Amino acid sequence: MKLDAATSAGDIPEALIEPALTVGVVTPGSLDDQVLAFPEMKPPKQWYLGLAVTLTALLIGVGCIGYVFVTGIGAWGNTSPVFWAFDIINFVFWVGIGHAGTLISAILFLFRKRWRNAIARFAEAMTIFAVICAVIFPLIHVGRPWLAYWLFPYPNQRALWTNFRSPLLWDVFAVNTYFSVSLMFWYLGLIPDIASMRDRTTSKIRKVLYTVLAMGWRGAASHWQHYEKAYLLLAGLATGLVLSVHSVVSFDFATSVVPGWHMTIFPPYFVAGAIFAGFAMVVMVLVVVRETMQLKNLITMRHLDVMNKVILAMSCIMGYSYMMEGFTAWYSMNEYLHHGFMNIISGTYGWAGWVTISCNILIPQILWFKKARASYFWMILVAIGVTIGMWFERFVIIVISLHQDYLPSAWRIYKPTMIDFGVLLGTFGIFFTLVLLFARVLPVIATTEVKAILPGAQPSHHGDDHHA
Amino acid sequence: MKTRLPEHGPLETPRFWRTLEERIETPEAQRAAHDEFLPGTIPAGPDYDDVHGLPPQSGVSRRDFLGLVSAAAALAATVACDRKGQGTVVPYTKRPVEVIPGVANYYASATHEGRRVYPVLVKTREGRPIHLTGNDEHPGVKGKTSPRVMADVLRLYDPDRLRAPKAQGHVASWADAEAQFHGALRGAKAAGKPVLLISGAVVSPSRKALLADLKTALPTLEHLAYEPAAGDAAEVAALASFGQAVDLQPRLDKAKVILSLGADFLNGEDPEAQAAWGAKRRLKNAQEAINRLWVLEGPLTLTGTNADQRVPVSPSRLGAVAFALAKELAAKGVALPTGTDLSGMSAGAPADIPAAVWSSLVKDLRAAGRNAVVLCGAQMPAEAHQAAHLLNAMLGSEAVALRAAEPLATVKDLEAAAQKMASGAYAAVLFWDVNPAYTYPKAAAWKEAVTKVPFRAWIGQVEDETSAQCQLLLPENHWLESWGDYATPGAAVLQQPAIGALYDTRQGEDILLGVLKAMGATVPDGYHAYLQARWKKELPFGTSFEQALHDGLVKGETKTSAPVFKGASVAAAAKKAVAAKADGLELVLFPGFATHDGRHANNSWLQETPDPITKMTWDNPVAVSVQDAKALGLEEGDWVTLALDGATLKLPAVIQPGQAPGVLALALGYGRTTGGVAKGMGVNAFPLVGLDPASAHARGGAKLAKAGGRKELSRTQSHHRMEGRDLVRSLTMDEFAHNPQGHHHMPELVTLYEDQKFPDHKWGMVIDLAACTGCSACMVACQSENNVATVGPEQVARGREMHWIRIDRYYEGELENPKVVHQPMLCQHCDNAPCENVCPVNATNHSPEGLNQMAYNRCVGTRYCANNCPYKVRRFNFLEYTAYKTEPETLAYNPEVTVRPRGVMEKCSFCVQRINDVKIRAKGDGRAILDGEITTACMAGCPSDAIVFGDLKDPKSKVSQLVAASRAYRVLEELGVKPAITYLADLKNPAMPMASTEGGHHEA
């Protein structure tokens, strides 16, 4: 396929012409063969190896959670005054990871960023898995987990009601909404692909399974019409959630009186941080996926380049936020806030503060260079750095702020226990186990959406005269 | 509804109708109305049951259905009710006449610790003693008591108590045990061989009489009254200065100037001194008279932290300094007692004390004259005590009462007894409430000597190091199960049992009465009768024994001649004091705040009450001065070896600001080898006690070395500076007079929320930091009242202690001699409580009376409230701290306060159960609640009356008036949380401008 030089040169400047979103020759047929074949194939040895590792981590986590159930929160390092520690750090961390998926699938969809089509499916799946990891924590971190359902406002004969002034209750709603909308959005997108797989598969079990999951999709024009409308609506709904969920999570902190928590900058700062961490995780996973699953032609270096740019932009926003924290501490003349900020850069946990700053602000600056954005080494380094950095950012916010607040008599050093690390490891186990299973069972790329961006799939004004 | 109403008139229509359909009279509605209370739920067909005229039954009727549902629910509820740990509730078949279930009874009783007598009021519920306070009828203690006495109610329910006699290691009956016991004593009497009885201090006149009777019946009896922590030096000095043993009681109400030579009279042990101190410090304005406390001491004591002027002086130098003071005063014209010779002393200020401080002290003492008093710490060397006696005699001090006392045995007497035992002279030895195998410095030699005595018997409550060596163990009643009496200044005090003996135990006196009987003496039947017979003879006319028992005392001063100071004793003491010089480090061994001499070591409430200075629980680290720690390169918690006289201990060190350089301090009473709670907590420091009674507890020549490694300290406070925050305000008298609010300007706080409304009451509290000495009595009182769990050293080290009230202690200024402030910190019951709005399940909320209340049942344990509490007074049950407890431990619980399980948040409730109790009683009487009628446990327990609780809605209440005082401020007021607790700024009355006058709150 060739552009008519005379026409295009006159209409669109060279720089604005969107380059092709796939590499090489990709036809709808070859795409189906490439993507939908995975669930049919016997997984390679490496897959089993990976699953063994992640399952081990998962089981360690389950064991640790069971231990906490039996003995109590005291099995963790949480203490007075650090009443929240790994539990809430992990919760905020995982909710944050989820944000990239929704951003890619919903916001970029609404902005008609067509490059997102190839990676949206995987990113969305990661959202679901990350939120699953996150919701574990509100359930297990309470002192009496068997009563955690009391956080839901359900009618009961004791006439007890929840406290709608509590940000924790807002969390319950925000996270639940987020999870349900994300799940619906993801599933809706899967339907046409599942239908394709239903039609392709020869295995009887799969046939039944996919038939049920495809919900009778036949690819009729009316189906497509409803599908597109529903997809657009859910994208609109999810867009609001990208901003709201982490804002609400940040209210847990921002509406409190704890110095270092009580700041108006928190909602945007948390949302930016979440997108930042989420993109880093997506980059990490996609590099592995495109290499091991031979998807280089669909998940191109251009995707990675664009995502690295987003990471860089978010890193700058984070840098600004950190500086504003310092500025607020200084400008407010609030001695407690000032002390809290000094703790981040020079206290007992000052190292954690510097880990955060280095990983989130300093290292990602390498992405200003085009070469770094094209280099696996640098992008993986940055992505791992950001993941660590963002975990530590929550450590800084939660543990450093809590361990020294108002009355020095109550100050105390917090030390995590092995159980704390076990639970953290367990969530990584859950996340990657789900990722591995997903990669083998469902189409990792939304073939219908990629078909829509294949050259010639969309009507365009010069496309018209070309095909005329 | 489009159906029109029928046309016909009201006569045909029912006047009252239930539904519109009925009013309209559709056939269906009429049928439904007819059938409403009939059994069938099935729509009635045309065919009626002919017999009853009722619709035929088919299916389940509504009535049956409801019946089944309720039966099922009742059954389910019955099954569900069978919960773990819930026992059978059986009502009294014959109710004791004075017991009304749910209503507390109070009995007056008394106990003692060493020579100090504590008249108490015992609160019992359904026959169980659960809480102790001082007897408010007593003219000295005025309703106050000590933290250790308050905690002693737990000892009654100690599961380790010996429950039946034991002979040769096997449980025996009392008859068998007594036969063995009496046989051995009769044998000794017949053979004319001496019998040794070692007991604690004898402060009871009846016990003294009983021992005299015993001596008559068994002439070979030798008796030693042994108090290992009382301070042998004080005993030696009293003998030297007065020729007899004395009991010394400060009368601080009469003191304008107090000089303490290492005396720790404000540590909660002496409620009388503390009450007088509080009264002198709770000033309304700067014109009121305040006293001045000078403290010269080596270790930092609680009294030292309350000093107006404190100088660190090592104990060995105290005697010389005090004698120099006497010389200086004599030179200034204060008359010396006759026969006093101070020519051996060189005149002028000693090098230990800055010249300006010295001249100011001399001036102060001289000006105060009879209103000055010099008090010396029990552990200080004998010369210092003698110098203090001399100074008091010179000044003619009215602020100290001296009474003749029963002498106590010193280590020297114990050493002699050990030698005599080792020689095989004794036929029998009886240990009564003493534990020399643990408290005697040379324990190995002691134990070896004891084995040489053919018959060894022991009377006590919990098997200990000493009982391990005895053939016969006779279990003793707790004092709450016993009779007794005491002679105190101002009143004769009676002790009565508040509960029958829980186990097959007897009172020690009853065991001795048994001995008397066995020796052929005619004695009353039991100690109760013995006591009653003695008392009936001595009761003043018109007082019945029952009345005395009810009041717990009979007021009246017993006339005793005051011991006279012997001037001739001074010369030798002064010479010794001047010559005293410590080589190496000086070690001060003081009774542990919690454990005393080890007798309280099995009490978890006390073990977990932090030492008021070091804030250590469950352990006795050696306190090292800042200078020495620097020289040795020590850090907090470092393991060290402490060597003295061949004894070496390995223990952790803490760095103690304010401690004199070259001085070490170590608490006695730890390192027990028996007792479920006590075992293995800390190290036993008794092996370091000296065998010279004049300096048994303050010894030179100690060596300290780093042992490598560090212990995680089970400390409740790990940060000791206020970081320049306005938390504890402390004013000098000058500041109090001119600018009590300092530079604190509170901007008007604006809120978007409507203010809380309090229609009837608004409970509030005022805490006077000037009166608070930091003694921690409130903590124990609260623990007992509110069933506060103990968590053990590992959990405390992690910061999970459960105290609802704590004492924050901060150091200010230079570390070598800092200013120290104490601040009781408890739930502030904020009107805008930050904890309340963040609880997702409304488990914590505000009462219409201003209480921030916790619904434990509703709490799921998100811990958000605790994060958001600026005062960090909320306590979380991180683990299960209570459910594993069984009887008898659970008997100590206050039945009015829920015992909290794992996973639940808890905190101070302002003793809501006490508030409600008073409210109910006032309502029953049809009257308003009186001001001061409601006392929280901490308030009732505070010996210096620093805490006042009451209704802020009542403008005439004491608490309302104090809130408006010029010293009043609220902690963290700038947060706008509107705490219900107001603090009154601490007061210091320095004689001269203080070295660090800037104070914490305006420290940069």
pLDDT > 80? residue A15 = no
Distance CA B865, CA A406 (A): 15
Each residue's pLDDT tens digit, B676-730: 999 999 999 999 999 999 999 999 999 999 999 999 999 999 999 998 899 999 9
CATH number of B730-741+759-988: 3.30.70.20
Q: Which among B851, B153, B844, B209 has a CA at the least distance from the CA of B487?
A: B209
Mean pLDDT lowest for which of B22-31, B185-194, B642-651, B755-764?
B22-31
In A, minimum Cα distance to B717 occurs at: A409
Backbone angles phi and psi of B630, in degrees to 5: -65, -45
- Selected for mutation to probe chain B from A69, A80, A88, A256 (highest B CB count within 10 Å) is A80
Tell me the C-alpha to C-alpha distance, in Å, between residue B571 and each of A268, B326, B888, B921. Answer: 82, 12, 57, 65
Element (H, E) at B331: helix B315-331
Rounded Cα gap, residues B294 and B307, in angstroms: 6
Residues 717-736 of B with CB under 8 A from A: 717-725, 727
With an 8 Å Cβ cutoff, are A80 and B808 in contact? no
Question: What is the chain B residue with the closest CA to A336?
Answer: B725
Q: Is B354 on the interface with A (CB under 8 A)?
A: no
The two tokens of residue B504 are 């097959």
Coil/strand/helix, residue B116: strand
Q: What is the mean pLDDT of residues A422-447?
A: 93
A323-343 CB burial, b ≥16 within 10 A, e <16? eebeebbeeeebbbbbbbbeb
Q: What is the pLDDT of residues B138-173, one digit of tens each?
A: 999 999 999 999 999 999 999 999 999 999 999 999
For residue B337, how many other CB atoms are within 10 A of its CB?
18
pLDDT band at B9 (very low <50, low <70, confident <90, very high): very low
What residue of B is the nearest CA neighbor of A162?
B841
How many other C-beta atoms lie within 10 A of the C-beta of residue B668?
25
Vertex A250: Cα angle to A247 and A253 (nearest 5): 155
Q: Which CATH superfamily is domain B240-404 in?
A: Dimethylsulfoxide Reductase, domain 2 (3.40.228.10)
- What value does the mean pLDDT take over residues A134-162? 92
Question: For residue B639, what are its two tokens?
Answer: 């393991």
Q: Is the pLDDT of residue A109 over 90?
A: no
Work out the minimum CA distance from A28 to partner chain B, whole angstroms: 52
Interface test with B, best of A332, A342, A409, A411 (most B CBs within 10 A): A409
Rounded Cα gap, residues A317 and A327, in angstroms? 15
Q: Give the gap in angstroms from C-alpha A349 to the nearest C-alpha of chain B.
A: 16
Instruction: Determine the residue of chain A that is closest to B808 in CA distance.
Output: A409
- In chain B the first and final C-alpha atoms are separated, in Å, by 79
- Chain A nearest C-alpha distance from B645 (Å): 39
Q: How confident is the model at residue B607 (pLDDT cuts 50, 70, 90)?
A: very high
Q: Which amino acid would we find at residue B403?
A: R
Please report, in angstroms and rounded to a whole number, the separation of the first and last CA atoms in chain A: 14
Nearest Cα of chain B lies from the Cα of A94 at a distance, in angstroms, of 19
- Residue A137: phi and psi, rounded to 5, are -70, -45
- Percent of chain B with pLDDT strictly greater than 90: 75
For residues B455 and B457, what is the distance between their CA atoms, to the nearest angstrom?
7
Q: What is the mean pLDDT of residues B823-848?
A: 95
CB atoms within 10 A of CB B367: 11
Using a CB-CB cut-off of 8 Å, the residues of chain A touching B808 are: 407, 409-410
Q: Are B838 and A168 a contacting pair at CB < 8 A?
A: yes
Query: Which pLDDT score, from 0 to 100, does residue B128 have?
Result: 93
Mean pLDDT of chain B: 89
Tokens standing for residue B920? 């109910």
pLDDT score, position A17: 64
Q: What is the mean pLDDT of chain A?
A: 89
* Domain-wise residue ranges, chain B: 1-61, 104-156, 166-230+408-538, 240-404, 582-710, 730-741+759-988
Contacts of A148 in chain B (CB under 8 A): 860
Strands annotated E in B264-382: 292-297, 309-312, 372-376
- State pLDDT tens for residues B775-792: 999 999 999 999 999 999
- Which residue, among A435, A119, A109, A127, has the nearest Cα to A295 in the 3D structure? A119
Which among A74, A144, A148 is the nearest to B878, CB-wise? A74
What is the arithmetic mean of pLDDT over B748-758? Answer: 81
> B220 in contact with A at a CB cutoff of 8 Å?
no
Other beta carbons within 10 angstroms of residue A419's beta carbon come to 19
**In sequence order, which residues have a C-beta less than 8 Å from that of residue B43 and are 6 or more positions away?**
B31
Question: Are A408 and B723 an interchain contact pair (Cβ–Cβ within 8 Å)?
Answer: yes
> Each residue of B360-396: pLDDT tens digit?
999 999 999 999 999 999 999 999 999 999 999 999 9
Counting one residue from chain A and one from chain B, the pairs whose CB atoms sit within 8 A come to: 166
**Single-letter residue type at B698:** A
Judged by a CB distance cut-off of 8 A, whether residue B555 touches chain A is no
B116-125 and B128-134: which strand pairing?
A: antiparallel
> Across-strand partners of B710?
B638
Question: What gap in Å lies between CA B227 and CA B199, rounded to an integer?
Answer: 8
In this prediction, residues B268-273 reach a mean pLDDT of 94
Contact call for A409 and B795, based on CB within 8 A: no
Instruction: Give pLDDT tens digits for B961-974.
Output: 999 999 999 999 98
Q: Give A404's contacts in chain B (Cβ within 8 Å).
A: 719
For chain A, say whether B76 makes contact (Cβ under 8 Å).
Answer: no
Q: What is the pLDDT of residues B177-235, one digit of tens each?
A: 999 999 999 999 999 999 999 999 999 999 999 999 999 999 999 999 999 998 899 99
Pairing of strands B246-250, B400-404: antiparallel
**Model confidence band, residue B440 (pLDDT cutoffs 50, 70, 90):** very high
Q: Which B residues 967-986 touch A at CB under 8 Å? A: 971-972, 975, 977
Per the CATH hierarchy, to which homologous superfamily does domain A28-145+167-448 belong? Formate dehydrogenase/DMSO reductase domain (1.20.1630.10)
Mutation pick from B820, B878, B975 vs chain A, by most beta carbons of A within 10 Å, is B878
Is the separation of the CB atoms in B684 and B671 below 8 Å?
yes
Q: Torsions phi, psi of B584, nearest 5?
A: 75, -160
What does the alpha-carbon distance between residue B775 and residue B613 come to, in Å, rounded to a whole number?
A: 9
Structure tokens at A90: 């992990």
Residue B856: DSSP 8-state = G
Q: Which residues of A touch B719 (CB under 8 A)?
A: 404, 408-409, 411-412
Nearest to B839 among A78, A163, A410 (CB): A163
Q: Is the Cβ of B710 closer than 8 Å to some Cβ of chain A?
A: no
CB atoms B808 and A409 under 8 Å: yes
What is the residue whose two structure tokens read 């170590």? B666
Test A163 with B867 for CB contact under 8 angstroms: no
B550-590 pLDDT tens trace: 999 998 877 778 899 998 889 899 999 888 887 889 999 99
**CA–CA–CA angle A155, A157, A159 (5° rounding):** 70
For B107, phi then psi, to 5°, come to -125, 140
Q: Can you tell me the mean pLDDT for B429-458?
A: 95
Half-sphere exposure of residue B599, counting CA atoms within 13 Å on the CB side? Answer: 23
Calculate mean pLDDT across residues A388-400. 96
Q: Which fold has domain B582-710?
A: Barwin-like endoglucanases (2.40.40)
Dihedral (CA of B477, B482, B487, B493) sign = positive
Give the architecture (CATH level 2) of B166-230+408-538. Answer: 3-Layer(aba) Sandwich (3.40)
Domain ranges (residues) in chain A: 28-145+167-448
pTM here is 0.88
- Looking at the DSSP bridge assignments, the partners of residue B639 are B652
Q: Which two tokens stand for residue B481?
A: 């199960």
More confidently predicted of A295 and B161 = B161
pLDDT at B1004 over 60: no
Report the relative pairing of strands B257-261 and B372-376 from DSSP bridges. Answer: parallel
Contact B958, B932 (CB under 8 A): yes
CA distance B641 to B702: 10
B699 has a chain A CB within 8 A of its CB: no
Report which residue type is found at B345: M
Residue B472 three-state SS: strand
Residue with tokens 């496309």: A463
Q: How far apart are CA A250 and CA B314, in angstroms?
A: 56
Percent of chain A with pLDDT over 90: 68
- Report the amino acid identity of residue A420: D
Residues of B in contact with A176 (CB under 8 A): none
Tokens of B77: 């509820």
User: How far A337 CA sits from the closest chain B CA (Å)?
Assistant: 12
DSSP 8-state code for residue A359 = I
Cβ neighbours of residue B985 under 8 Å, at least 6 residues apart? B729, B730, B731, B736, B740, B769, B770, B967, B968, B969
Contact B312, B329 (CB under 8 A): no
Q: What is the pLDDT of residues B975-998, one digit of tens each?
A: 989 999 999 999 999 987 654 434
- DSSP structure string for B658-683: TPPTTEEEEEES--BSSSTTTBTSS-
Strands of the B257-261 sheet, one edge to the other: B309-312, B292-297, B257-261, B372-376
Predicted pLDDT at B473:
96
Structure tokens at A71: 């003995």
Burial B288-299 (b: 16+ CB within 10 A, else e): eebbbbbbbbbb
For A334-364, write each residue's pLDDT tens digit: 999 999 999 999 989 999 999 999 999 999 9
Is A143 close to B877, i.e. CB distance below 8 A? yes
pLDDT band at A1 (very low <50, low <70, confident <90, very high): very low
The residues near B851 (Cβ < 8 Å, ≥ 6 apart) are: B763, B829, B909, B910, B912, B915
The residue type at B879: L
DSSP state of B827: -
User: Which one, of A239, A271, A240, lies nearest residue A254 by Cα?
Assistant: A271
CA B329 to chain centre: 39
Extract the tokens encoding B395: 């000044």
Q: Out of B878, B971, B977, name the one closest to residue A72 (CB).
A: B878
CB contact under 8 A, B838 and A256: yes
* Residues of chain B positioned with their CB less than 8 A from the CB of A77: 798
Give the number of other CB atoms < 10 A from CB of residue A62.
15
Reduce the DSSP state of residue B775 to 3 states and report it. Answer: coil
Residues 6 or more apart in contact with residue B394 via CB below 8 angstroms: B326, B329, B330, B334, B335, B336, B337
Q: Which of B841, B846, B875 to mutate to test the interface with A (most CBs of A within 10 A)?
A: B841
Q: Please, what's the b/e burial string for B396-408 (b: 16 or more CB within 10 A of its CB; e: otherwise)?
A: ebbbbbbbebebb
- B746: confidence class by pLDDT, cuts 50, 70, 90: confident
Tell me, what amino acid is at A137? Answer: F
Dump the DSSP string for B861-926: ---HHHHT-TT---EE--S--STT--TTGGGGS-TTSPPP-TT-EE---SSHHHHHHHHHHHHHHT
